[in-house]
Homo-oligomer: A and B are copies of this chain.
Amino acid sequence: MNIPESEFKRVLIIGGGFGGLHIAKGLKNKNFQVVMLDKNNYHTFQPLLYQVATSGLEPDSIAYPIRKIFKSQQRFHFRMANVQRIDTAENVVNTDIGDISYDYLVIATGTTTNFFGMKGVEKYAMTMKSVSEALDLRSLILQNFEKALLATEEEQESYMNFPIVGAGPTGVELAGALAELKNHILPADYPDLNIQRMKIQVIEMQDEVLKPMSEKASKKALNYLQELGVDVMLNKSVASFDGNKLTFQSGEVLESKTLIWAAGVKGNIIDGFPESIIDKGRYMVDRTSKVRGTENVYAIGDIAHMTTPLFESGMPQVAPVANQQGDFLAKNLIRISNGQEPKLFEYFDKGSMATIGRNRAVVDMGKIKFQGTLAWFVWMFVHLISLVGFRNRVVTFFNWSYNYFSFDRGARLIIRKFHR
């Protein structure tokens, strides 16, 4: 592999998500060479993918070139690569661009969609874990309306149903955004169609939406969804989907050409570890993020399963955990290199939030819980300042302001054709 030799120890980071960025930044100007691998040349701000899918934002606003983030960082090297296997005995990672050795390895590969073994769902459902998937979903939504124009009345319905499985933040936020498309945008775009026949369903196997949030937030979110005309189905599970028909466990059937799958994730596990250190698709790590049974291999963020006194059953799979674990591990590696003992991680939960639509959001911050317009502005502010890069913040701010005042969405382009 073509990475310059260095007198410093090499920290090899797999993944340029939240966790990967934070540890790499934390090692800036320290006594390490940092090598980052990712299959994309950009970092994706996943919490806003649903806005790309619903024509509210451009993909370029929520993705950021990794090389640009680190362009002034000494001894940082990025390579676009797919990792195939980790060889802990040899301290080497096998990739499609060759083998890369490491002194310390940090696995920050995050999660991928979990279809729970349902083959039809995997084949036909739309997901939203990457920029490409969000763009495909955007194109499919718009193509459905183009096709509905040409369809018989009966078939029209199945083009205009948008069942979303999973009422976590992704499902709820996407449902709200689709409802706003229905209410404000599509009627003018498709005067020849009765857009009121468009139906958005949120299907959740548990008994409330946004289950991990406070009861107050969950209730309000349900309320908001219903106000926007979303059909929320609780205590309901999907049995199968064949591209035309969604069948529930109860035997009921919904005719639909589309299924949006936001029901679960599983870790992006890499070959090379014994099954015994993997728990529910995540690497078991101690409170220093070290993978069980290894000496110099760490895992952070969604891919890591860590228990702490405050989180006895493990961390939630959210961005702030990855950020904090990345920061913390950087400091620990510096400590180790100075001959000091590493410290033990604890997660500081600043709270959680979700937006359902214009002036409709829910925020839990410890004991402080609020909903509505203020929550919506807080949500926007937090997401805006979390975006990487000045340009992205300005363009996103402008687009949100524009969308707010004009009730419009700019980017209704079918660029990636999705054929089915």
Contact = CB atoms under 8 A, between A and B. Distances in A.
Contact of A150 (B97, B132, B394): B97
A60 B189 contact: no
Contacts of A416: 132, 416
A67 interface: yes
A305 interface: no
Contacts of A191: 71
A414 interface: yes
Contacts of A77: 192
Interface stretch (A13-21, A226-234, A395-403): A395-403
Most chain B CB within a 10 A radius of its CB, from A60, A71, A77: A60
A140 interface: no
Interface stretch (A195-203, A376-384, A405-413): A405-413
B192 A413 contact: no
A61 B59 CA distance: 12
A80 interface: yes
Contacts of A68: 188-189, 408, 412
A391 interface: yes
A389 interface: yes
Given A192-B4, A192-B77, A414-B80, A398 B394 contact: yes
Interface residues of A, number: 52
Given A41-B414, A395-B398, A150 B2 contact: yes
Contacts of A395: 395, 398-399
Contacts of A368: none
A212 interface: no
A60 B411 contact: yes
A227 to B, nearest CB: 26
Given A398-B395, A398-B398, A399-B391, A71 B189 contact: yes
Interface string A320-332: 0000000000000
Interface string A50-71: 0000000011110101011001
A56 to B, nearest CB: 11
Given A41-B146, A395-B395, A402-B391, A415 B190 contact: no
Contact of A189 (B2, B65, B142): B65
A91 interface: no
Contacts of A272: none
Nearest to A67: B189
A24 to B, nearest CB: 15
B392 A410 contact: yes
A98 interface: yes
Contacts of A394: 398, 402
A192 B76 CA distance: 10
Contacts of A129: none
Nearest to A394: B398
A415 B59 contact: yes
Contacts of A79: 146, 149-150
Interface in A156-198: 188-192
Contacts of A392: 410
Contacts of A63: 413, 415
Shortest beta-carbon contacts, A-B, top 8: A67-B189, A71-B188, A65-B412, A60-B411, A58-B60, A391-B410, A80-B146, A58-B58
10 contacts: A41-B142, A41-B414, A42-B414, A58-B60, A58-B61, A59-B415, A60-B410, A72-B188, A98-B150, A390-B402
